[in-house]
Amino acid sequence: MPHKLPFRVVHVSSQDENFPAEELNRHSPATRGWVSSRFCPFPQKLVLSLERHAHLRKIQVLCHQYMIPFLEMITATRVEFFVGTPLECDVNHYRTARYVRLGYVSLSDNESTEFKARELKSVHLDTCGSYIQLLLHRNYPNRYNMYNQVGIIAVNLIGGFTGDPSEIDPDAFNMNAYRYDFIPPTEDLAFDIYQDPEVADIIRRLEKLKQTAVLREFDLVLTSTPT
């Protein structure tokens, strides 16, 4: 079953000393997020390294309420996504990884909310890799962003590690009875951002226990059904 994938930021083009990129490594209501340096060059690049090679099913990005990136000379705002796979000769370095462009998401200029709301973007995908690269283009100008910075409050990667025996094999289950690709709401970024970390961990453990019980019940039904 897809779940939150731990990662760490291994490269960033720039950062504000009060909003370092390491803030993206954890999720909580107190998360401040990452903000680029003042008057930074564009595009800004972020590279996230997964603990190991994984099958990615969903990426979520929670953007800053007024430090919003956009693509210069195009009216739509956007953040580009790339997935990276390390070369065999250098399996642990993002610099030599081979990256494939996945696409982009468009962002609102946030004027309608008077720059008070943070926009959460979710992208469903089906790809494998060890690194995720984000390119953030030039910001939307507004009266609150005097230094032309861009920022991200949080990033969430959902999927499963390849070769992990705990991951569910879709061929091993009755697909009509169980959705192996179901993503529990406890894995959603909004759950962690607005939930106390300790309470979130307890709820997540209970959710896993429930899913384990459901799987065992399916196994029991399948093994006891006459053929």
Q: What would the DSSP string read from start to end of 121-158?
A: EEEEEEEEEEEEEEEE-PBPP-TT-TT---EEEEEEEE
Residue 92 has a pLDDT of: 66
Residue range 179-184: mean pLDDT, rounded: 72
Q: Which CATH class is domain 3-194?
A: mainly beta
Band (224; pLDDT cuts 50, 70, 90) = low
Whole-angstrom distance, CA of residue 43 vs CA of residue 185: 32
Residue 67 has a pLDDT of: 74
- Which of 168, 173, 184, 169 minimizes the C-alpha distance to 221? 173
pLDDT exceeds 60 at position 41: yes
pLDDT over 70, % of the chain: 81
Residue range 181-204: mean pLDDT, rounded: 85
Q: Model confidence over 107-128: pLDDT tens digits?
A: 888 888 888 788 888 999 999 9
- 27 vs 69: which has the higher pLDDT: 27
Residue 173 has a pLDDT of: 45
Whole-angstrom distance, CA of residue 48 vs CA of residue 12: 9
- 141 vs 9: which has the higher pLDDT: 9
Average per-residue pLDDT for the chain: 82
Residue 184 has a pLDDT of: 84
Residue 175 has a pLDDT of: 43
Residue range 211-215: mean pLDDT, rounded: 78
Residue 181 has a pLDDT of: 66
SS3 222: helix
The answer for residues whose C-beta is within 8 angstroms of residue 121's C-beta and 6 or more apart is 60, 61, 62, 63, 79, 105, 107
Q: Model confidence over 1-40: pLDDT tens digits?
A: 789 999 999 999 999 999 999 999 998 888 899 999 999 9
- Which of 153, 150, 159, 156 minimizes the C-alpha distance to 45? 150
Query: What end-to-end distance do the CA atoms of the chain give, in Å?
Result: 28
- The amino acid present at 113, given as its one-letter code, is T
Tell me how far CA of residue 146 lies from CA of 40, 53, 204, in angstroms.
Answer: 12, 40, 40
Q: In degrees to the nearest 10, what's the CA dihedral of 61, 85, 149, 25?
A: 60
What number of residues does the chain have?
227
Segment holding 46, helix H or strand E? strand 44-63
Band (171; pLDDT cuts 50, 70, 90) = very low
Whole-angstrom distance, CA of residue 157 vs CA of residue 57: 8
